[in-house]
A and B are shown apart, each in its own frame.
Chain A
């Protein structure tokens, strides 16, 4: 705080101004936010909702620092989605976690003026000081429709700054103008006269409510503009929201107070008689105003509107339309789509693998190095097998996540993501999913973690939840070692083609389960009015390297800090379960004797016996009665516990249980041990039917704590991961049970 005595003129200015950045999706808002704030950004979540909260700091030419809140991109402020709700609440200063903005910067896409001005028309009604950043002026000029910033500024009554976000043009000018933000005068919306009268009546009711003897506290949320007329305008604006049925935020409580309630009721009755529907009349009036403002900003003179029909014939085809003629062509479009998706898939499936192996090796090497400094004992094992393995379990996902967000941000920034959704929507709509579910589901074949993170591109919450929910059914790369081991061991006699057939059938089973689940869920838990599929196909743009890098960085960082901590904790707990309690000394000596008697490796034998002795081993025995009907014995139970760390751990856990040493070096001893394993009555523990039942379990069961951790982060709570855990494991249990029971009847009956 500077002393007020020395610089009296600075006392008027608040220490830090808060500026909200609003705008349509695809208006270049993010680019502008990055240009304004540089690297001084913070990404968090709005408490209670899964909407990302991005804030940043920016230094104005005057030397003053301002805080910028990047609101979610929205087409409207009438809340339907969590995004719109958050944007509306922040703008009206209703969120306790966010300071009410002192000014609003609206990003307007000059090449798509009318629809962008709709949001502006809603912002005007909020009565906050405003600046319009007229973005993509270059594109508008290319199209021969340059927007006059001066004319638009005259029409709106607020400063309008032309900018080209990706070239950083106009940014400095915008910074200068932010301090000169003005409250826009309330336009006289061309509403039907009857509705104007009702607005006056309800507005008057609000005035009575607020200007009563007691000073109402929520008066703050209605800035007064200029004078008495401005105040009435604000009341009319609120009356408008109430009349069109908006009950978000404090509007609900306002609508329940007298005299507002009865005024609204009689207004609705009178307008119903006249056949006026307030919501429709309101939007139409806004657009009528927009058409006039837009025409003037485009330099069209007032007067009768040019008959618009010939427009389509006259205009030349834009770049975007030319690209689209190929990119969403019936044949070439699908070919290009397949090629892009194949590249994406191959990258996260194979390209990431060596890096992941490298990380895996590096972390365990590091763990071993650190551990060698420590004395033998639990602390050393905790550091090596608990902490470092836990860190490895988190970091190992980084290459896939980074690669995925690399591709995803290129696809999204270029505008192709919307086309991909357009191409695939038909296929996914059949089971109640969204065109944008395709990439998350495809990525989930590599790993559900990046797949679930990729659902962030889906705006509708219901569609997003449904996609998250079915993503783990896609056979991920961690299931492959298990598939390979079991198919290779128990179906070797069937020949390579039938083995490949089994493998394909497992992948297909996952897809069928996902489709069925999505279909059922959209009709049960996520029931309700279907979110409308309204997909903008934005202009193609060249992705910016800096934006791509930023997206990769922030998303990877978010994973490490948010989901990573949960994964780490769970993997340490899992380690402890497989480590404690320790065998008593006498027991160890016994095992040593036995091992040397049978010519076995002593360490392997001890490791196997210790696992059997641990909580996890006992847990395997404990759940044996439950998994018995599926054909599993307690050893497989222990394997399933181990698989919770990552599915492929099943293989190494089986290696320990069967005391065959490091199966990563050579799998044959494990295969032999599994084939040779018999129950006391002489029956084989492992039969092809048991293997099949276990394979089905691995396809359908939710046994990946990392996935659960990411679902928790993405859905903002433990509810969905728990529903997922129960549902998937119940489904897996029932289907595996059916496979084993039917299978044994057929083969032995």
Chain B
């Protein structure tokens, strides 16, 4: 298992297909590559703006570890780990 990617190793991800939003480290940015999951979840995530290579920044995890707060298209939203894992991310190069 790959560990959460940290700020320093953010651009170390060589295989974008395996980097999902839930594994992106706190403070990391990335671009949305694709969204998976069932039809309903995918539609909701797309409608909330997880599409067209939008930039996502990981703000924090809740004190109990889940959910995760993100910044996307200028607003903040949170997803549970189980949903964030369906968003595939291209980690931003720094």
Contacts and interface: CB of A to CB of B under 8 A. Distances in A.
Contact of A320 (B31, B47, B76): B76
A284 B40 contact: no
B49 A118 contact: yes
A114 B79 contact: no
Contact of B52 (A287, A330, A535): A287
Interface string A104-133: 000000011111001000000000000000
Contacts of A279: 39, 42-43, 46
B63 A113 contact: no
B76 A114 contact: no
Given A112-B74, A312-B29, A312-B71, A75 B48 contact: yes
B47 A536 contact: no
Contacts of A291: 52
Interface in B1-46: 29, 31, 35, 38-46
Contacts of A532: 40-41, 44-45, 79, 83
B47 A76 contact: yes
A534 B77 contact: yes
A324 B78 CA distance: 13
B52 A288 contact: yes
A541 B2 CA distance: 40
A426 B66 contact: yes
Given A280-B42, A283-B43, A425-B67, A534 B48 contact: yes
B51 A284 contact: yes
B55 A312 contact: yes
Contact of A529 (B38, B47, B48): B38
A415 B67 CA distance: 17
A404 B51 CA distance: 39
B62 A425 contact: yes
Contacts of B65: 426
A333 to B, nearest CB: 6
A363 B21 CA distance: 59
B93 to A, nearest CB: 8
Contacts of A113: 74
Question: Which of B35, B39, B75, B79 has most A Cβ within 10 Å?
Answer: B75
A497 interface: no
Interface residues of B, number: 42
A536 B40 CA distance: 18
Nearest to B74: A112
Interface secondary structure of B, over-half rule: mixed
Nearest to A288: B52
B44 A534 contact: yes
B80 A529 contact: no
B71 A287 contact: no
Interface in A523-537: 529, 532-537
A516 B79 CA distance: 25
A358 B29 CA distance: 58
A80 B47 CA distance: 12
A320 to B, nearest CB: 7
Contact of A115 (B43, B49, B60, B78): B49
A287 B60 CA distance: 26
A114 B74 contact: yes
Interface string B62-92: 1111110101011111111001000000001
Contacts of B69: 324, 328, 422, 537
A743 B36 CA distance: 54
Given A114-B73, A291-B52, A309-B29, A328 B63 contact: yes
A535 B55 contact: no
B64 A284 contact: no
B23 to A, nearest CB: 18
B67 A422 contact: yes
A123 to B, nearest CB: 14
A533 B49 contact: no
Interface string A163-187: 0000000000000000000000000
A321 B46 CA distance: 24
Nearest to B48: A534
A534 B79 contact: yes
B41 to A, nearest CB: 5
A331 B65 CA distance: 13
Interface string A132-160: 00000000000001000000000000000
A311 interface: yes
Nearest to B65: A426
A308 B78 CA distance: 21
Given A328-B60, A534-B45, A115 B52 contact: no
Contacts of B83: 532-534
Nearest to A425: B67
Contacts of A309: 29, 31, 55, 92-94
A334 interface: yes
Enumerate the 6 nearest inter-chain pairs by beta-carbon distance, A residue then B residue, closest first. Answer: A426-B64, A537-B76, A283-B46, A114-B73, A330-B63, A112-B75
16 contacts: A78-B43, A80-B43, A115-B73, A284-B46, A287-B51, A287-B54, A288-B52, A309-B55, A312-B55, A312-B57, A312-B71, A324-B59, A330-B63, A423-B64, A533-B79, A534-B83
Given A115-B75, A425-B66, 13 more contacts: A75-B48, A118-B49, A145-B74, A324-B76, A334-B63, A422-B67, A422-B78, A426-B67, A429-B80, A532-B45, A532-B79, A535-B77, A538-B76
